[in-house]
Structure 1
Amino acid sequence: MSGHVKLSSVVGLWCVVAAWMAPVSASELKLSEALRMAGLKHPSVQAKLAELQAANKDVVAAKWARFPSITVQGTTSNSQPETALLIQQPLWEGGRITGQILLAQATVRQAEAALLEARQSLLQQTSTTFFEILRLKERLILAKKSEAEHQKLVELIERRVKSEISPVADAILAKARKQQSTSERIQVERALQTARLTLDQWVGPQAGEPKLPGTLPWQVKPDDQLVSSAKAFSGELRRLQALEEVALAQIQIASAASWPGLYLVNRQALGGPGYAMTGARNQTYLSLNFSPGAGLSAAAAAEAAKARAETAKQGIALYERQLEQQVRNGLSEAQSLQLQRATSQELIKATEEVVDSYLRQYQIGRKNWLDVLNALRESIQAANSAGEIEYGLYAVKLRLLLSSGQLNLDNLESIYD
């Protein structure tokens, strides 16, 4: 079963009081644009791209080890200076050169995985902050509505106090409730400002005001399939796998130190006592070099690399479990929020009707002002809860889309903005 999630207003009264929203910038920031800017232009992404470029250069450098090396050698024989040119071609080094190439290639895969991991983290954080701003904007509308309703109630009670219908204490308490609603509005404004500054860190300053997207490319898939997709697309898991490959290449390099190297050498004398002798001027021979290092350092290095490989292997197994748990928890959260969605809408409607009823009854003395205030507070809380459910649902679905690779930098146009 597949479909698109339709975004709608959590409650109709938000549209009525839309003029109360905080000032917005002239331009609008679409979700796809925010994700693209974060995934392509963020400094951490540029740093990872530079690391990847350096790793690719290391592969080229490692492959050059298969080619001859040139050395100019200066010595002294019988107090006579002698200069020679040596060209040395490695024939066999026990797998050292191959190991170095494999190590460089594994480092490239590690850099690629680190780039993917950085982008996934940025996309996740950007999407979370994006929807947090939208949620706080709606909550600010409700906070301002609550403040205005409390102000109306204060004015109503003050008129009743002047008419000696209500005691002065009622007016004092009503003003205290109004100040509390003002404080809540200020707190929401500060939270919204903080969220906007956080989004600027991901997408850059003055990118625009987040705009509610129309649909998300959400498709209901079996849990196991979503878990498999998340494992296949996980940048962190790929990085751990590349780390194991690095350790295996290090094992091969360390083991190669226990073997001699065979080289084809050509020595060309450039000057000195033997320069005039044709036989001594140009010599070609096989050279067998053995340099195992200090003591048993080569064997110890191989054992250390094996331990690192085992550590990486266990790290892969551990992260696979953690990733599976994260995906299944996300699916469970999405299902729970989906079930609460309809109930929250019904609760909003019911609490609004209660507020209207209590206001009418207050006018004729059948309800006191505390009943009206409590009903108003429950109505605002119901609307706030509905907003948290609505935007929480889309945030968790977007998180699952990004983690499973269904949504990435190559198909952001599937978000209907």
Structure 2
Amino acid sequence: MFFRCLLVFLLSSFCLSVNAKDDNYSLNGLIHKALNYHPSIKSSTSLLSSAKKGLESAKWQYFPTPSVSISRVNATTTDLSYSGDDKVIKLGLNQTLWAGGRIDAGMEKAQAQLSIRKSILLVARRQLAFNVIRSYSAWYSSHLKRKAFSVSKQEHELLQKRIVRRIEQGLSPEIDLSLVSSRLLQVSANLNSAITQHQRALLQLEELVGESLNIDLLIESISTNYVVNGVKKVLLSQTLGIDPKLKELSERVKESHSTYKQVKSSLSPQLNLRVERQWGNHNIINADTENRIFLELSSSFGAGLSILSKIERAKLEEHSILLDLETQNKKTITEFESDWLSYQSLSKQNKLLGSALLAAQKIQQSWYRQFLAGRKQWQDVMNSIREVAQLKSQIADVVAESLSVSWRLMIRVKGVGAI
């Protein structure tokens, strides 16, 4: 009984570990690997932390500014300007009572910059996910093509051996061997191209996830299309609502408007309250400690009429970003529409090519039987082999592209966080 329980436990543990490993090699797992490793994500995360510190700094602008000064003088006895104490210490607090909205605008700008950094991080995560999907799709396509051309090569090699025997038996001319050998070379070239594409796509995937990948586990964990359900109009609305690039530009509009308010506040005077305590006095020997309260009104318009130019510049920058936002909104709609049309078209195309492949395979089998019975030429068999291989190659492209489009659509509609 004990050994039976132990065996069950070990088998369960093994199955769980295999499932966990396989999941790491699925498209979903590879995207997570890339998001946890890639330097572009770490860079954006670091900039986000910097923006958080900027917001903290903006909040502190509402608090008083402390100041301290210590001065020591060594003057001659005839210097009437410094006839008092040698050392003077001043402690003070300066509190802005009114600044024409400058501090509030600075706070709004810091909040907008933090939101921009969050959106930039989301943009980087989404783009990285798209890159992984594209590389995975290329790898999947090359994997299917490699299988298809490997089978075709084996069939051509078998046909070549049969032709050699027929030539030896005097049933076929020598030129037939040259023709089948030529076809075999073509198939070998296609197979070599698929292998090269496979290796290149695998290298791109490994670069994105930051580690070497096991081919066998990748093949065992091949992902399928992500089923996108819903009404197109609703899905488009969701896409526009979560698109990180649109959010980034929206926050840049807020940032630009805050900059405009900051610059415009320079036209208003600033009212400050300053509290000061002084020990010592350079003009009075052994002076008593003094406490002072200042109410200061000051303004700084800059050189000439430069402030008016700065205000106009801020307005133009805000208008420019609004135009960028409008352009990006149209671009997002176009990208969604394109992926949606591709998703619908590829699904139909895959079904049609699948039916065509079944028909071509039946023809290939039938013609091979008829060839053996002497009712078909061997060239017909060779042509049917090539047609099946070409259809499989087309299907490989369609299947891989369909997978890519479906996952890309899912991320557009739900975001990377939904993975």
Task: Identify the match of residue 55 of structure 1 among 36, 51, 58.
Answer: 51
Number of equivalences:
383
Cα contact 2:225–2:402 (8 A) shared by 1? no
In structure 1, distance between residues paired with 2:281 and 2:70: 10
Cα contact 1:90–1:261 (8 A) shared by 2? yes
Q: Which amino acid aligns with 1:40?
A: N
Structure 1: 5+ residue runs without aligned partners? 1-25, 413-417
Residue in structure 2 matched with residue 396 of structure 1 by the alignment: 405
In structure 2, distance between residues paired with 1:223 and 1:327: 10
In structure 2, distance between residues paired with 1:309 and 1:74: 46
Q: Aligned-pair distance for 1:31?
A: 2.2
Cα contact 1:226–1:327 (8 A) shared by 2? no
Q: Which amino acid aligns with 2:59?
A: K
Task: After superposing the two structures, state which structure 1 stretch, 262-271 or 180-189, moved more.
Answer: 262-271
- Runs (4 or more) in structure 1 with deviation over 6 Å come to 74-77
Q: Comparing both structures, which one devotes a greater share of its residues to helix? A: 2
Are 2:184 and 1:178 aligned?
Answer: yes
In structure 1, distance between residues paired with 2:199 and 2:153: 19
Cα contact 1:265–1:284 (8 A) shared by 2? yes
Residue in structure 2 matched with residue 408 of structure 1 by the alignment: 416
In structure 2, distance between residues paired with 1:303 and 1:232: 32
Cα contact 1:103–1:250 (8 A) shared by 2? yes
1:18-167 pair list within 5 angstroms? 28=22, 29-73=25-69, 79-80=81-82, 83-167=89-173
Task: After superposing the two structures, state which structure 1 stretch, 380-389 or 315-324, moved more.
Answer: 380-389
Cα contact 2:58–2:107 (8 A) shared by 1? yes
Larger Rg: 2
Task: After superposing the two structures, state which structure 1 stretch, 72-81 or 356-365, moved more.
Answer: 72-81
Report the 3-state secondary structure (helix = DSSP H, G, I; strand = E; otherwise coil) of the residue aligned with 1:402.
helix
**Residues 179 and 349 (structure 1), Cα distance of their counterparts in 2 relative to 1, 3 Å cut:** same
In structure 2, distance between residues paired with 1:317 and 1:122: 24
Q: Aligned-pair distance for 1:207?
A: 4.4
Q: Aligned-pair distance for 1:324?
A: 0.8
Residue in structure 1 matched with residue 295 of structure 2 by the alignment: 286
In structure 2, distance between residues paired with 1:78 and 1:300: 48
Task: After superposing the two structures, state which structure 1 stretch, 318-327 or 288-297, moved more.
Answer: 288-297
Cα contact 2:354–2:395 (8 A) shared by 1? yes
Task: After superposing the two structures, state which structure 1 stretch, 128-137 or 74-83, moved more.
Answer: 74-83
In structure 1, distance between residues paired with 2:383 and 2:65: 86
Residue in structure 1 matched with residue 341 of structure 2 by the alignment: 332
Q: Which amino acid aligns with 2:122?
A: L
Report the 3-state secondary structure (helix = DSSP H, G, I; strand = E; otherwise coil) of the residue aligned with 2:275.
strand
Task: After superposing the two structures, state which structure 1 stretch, 349-358 or 128-137, moved more.
Answer: 128-137
Cα contact 1:62–1:101 (8 A) shared by 2? yes
Task: After superposing the two structures, state which structure 1 stretch, 126-135 or 244-253, moved more.
Answer: 126-135
Cα contact 1:292–1:298 (8 A) shared by 2? yes
Q: Aligned-pair distance for 1:153?
A: 1.4
Q: Which amino acid aligns with 1:62?
A: A
In structure 2, distance between residues paired with 1:111 and 1:155: 65
Cα contact 2:343–2:402 (8 A) shared by 1? yes
Q: Which amino acid aligns with 1:150?
A: H
Q: Which amino acid aligns with 1:56?
A: K
Are 2:357 and 1:348 aligned?
Answer: yes
Task: Identify the match of residue 223 of structure 2 among 209, 213, 216.
Answer: 213
In structure 1, distance between residues paired with 2:298 and 2:52: 30
In structure 2, distance between residues paired with 1:115 and 1:320: 19
Q: Which amino acid aligns with 1:36?
A: H
Cα contact 1:361–1:367 (8 A) shared by 2? yes
Q: Aligned-pair distance for 1:262?
A: 0.6
Q: Aligned-pair distance for 1:375?
A: 1.4
In structure 2, distance between residues paired with 1:262 and 1:65: 14
In structure 2, distance between residues paired with 1:163 and 1:219: 59
Q: Deviations over 1:248-304 (max 9, x none)?
A: 1100111111111110012322333246555x8321110112111222222222211
In structure 2, distance between residues paired with 1:232 and 1:53: 25
Cα contact 2:108–2:258 (8 A) shared by 1? yes
Q: Deviations over 1:51-110 (max 9, x none)?
A: 111101111111111111123346789553755333211111111111111111100000
Report the 3-state secondary structure (helix = DSSP H, G, I; strand = E; otherwise coil) of the residue aligned with 2:267.
coil
TM (normalized to structure 2)?
0.85
Residue in structure 1 matched with residue 314 of structure 2 by the alignment: 305
Q: Deviations over 1:104-148 (max 9, x none)?
A: 110000000001111111112212322332222121111111111
Report the 3-state secondary structure (helix = DSSP H, G, I; strand = E; otherwise coil) of the residue aligned with 2:416.
coil
Q: Aligned-pair distance for 1:390?
A: 2.5
Q: Which amino acid aligns with 1:349?
A: L
Cα contact 2:48–2:118 (8 A) shared by 1? yes
TM (normalized to structure 1)?
0.86
Structure 2: 5+ residue runs without aligned partners? 1-19, 74-78
Query: What percent of counterpart residues are identical?
Result: 24
Cα contact 2:33–2:209 (8 A) shared by 1? yes
Q: Which amino acid aligns with 1:154?
A: Q
Task: After superposing the two structures, state which structure 1 stretch, 225-234 or 164-173, moved more.
Answer: 164-173
